[in-house]
Amino acid sequence: MTVTPFFDRLRADAAGPWARYVQHPFVLALGDGSLSERKFREFLVQDYLFLIQYARAYVLLAYKLDEPADMRAALTTADALLTGEMPLHVRYCAGWGLDEAQMRAAPAALEMIAYTRYVLELGQAGDALDLMVALAPCIAGYAEIGAMLNEGLCPGNPYTDWIAAYAGPDYNRSVAEAMAMLERLAVSRGGAARYDALLNRFIQATECEAAFWEIGWRAGAKTS
């Protein structure tokens, strides 16, 4: 008998919130290139602030894990975020007229605060499986969005590089590793018996992801 992967089951049972996340108007406008630069820059600033908290979540995940190999993997991801992805993000943002000092000093949007505090507080109160379930929409969702937008990418889209990063092999390799860890934790931490509560966590994190797009989408709403 074929067993449905734990993530696939969560995604299927959160179909409505998931669709609102991966098919948000911000995402669709990225895909067809119609998104205004002002909206995209606002998103980039908040995404920089988000990456800081995202790295903290992976450090917390390492603390919550039991297996040394998984602990090393979580810390490797945190280090990659801080020493790899964040500098890449800063260099990418420079091309949009944003510098790191400017982004670091920017006020955090309420949606960014709510999302990251939800994930970190859930990680503090729960176990590694709770935290991985809350992280999963971000990890897997961006890969799905990248693949979807890359498939219909038109020449001259100003957001090609951003789309390509999440459709590329390096990002998808990290997603596969994270999803494998989620499957292991679902087995070792009794995911089947806790499914209803974990699904609620997954839905909340997915709704937070959809709300995160709103930060950029509403930017300059009266003029763009």
Instruction: Write out pLDDT tens, residues 92-121.
Output: 999 999 999 999 999 999 999 999 999 999
In tens, the pLDDT along 113-154 reads 999 999 999 999 999 999 999 999 999 999 999 999 999 898
In tens, the pLDDT along 139-197 reads 999 999 999 999 989 899 999 999 999 999 999 999 999 999 999 999 999 999 999 99
Residue-range domain boundaries for the chain: 6-217
Residue-level pLDDT at 124: 96
Domain 6-217 has CATH 1.20.910.10: yes
Question: Among 188, 204, 64, 43, which Cα is nearest to 123's?
Answer: 64
Query: Cα(54)–Cα(216) distance, rounded to whole angstroms?
Result: 19
In tens, the pLDDT along 12-53 reads 999 999 999 999 999 999 999 999 999 999 999 999 999 999
Q: Give the predicted TM-score (pTM) of the model.
A: 0.93
Residue-level pLDDT at 221: 60
- Asked if residue 224 has pLDDT above 70, the reply is no
- Asked if residue 214 has pLDDT above 70, the reply is yes
In tens, the pLDDT along 56-67 reads 999 999 999 999
Alpha helices in the chain (DSSP H): 6-13, 15-22, 25-32, 37-64, 68-80, 86-94, 100-105, 110-125, 128-151, 160-167, 169-188, 195-217
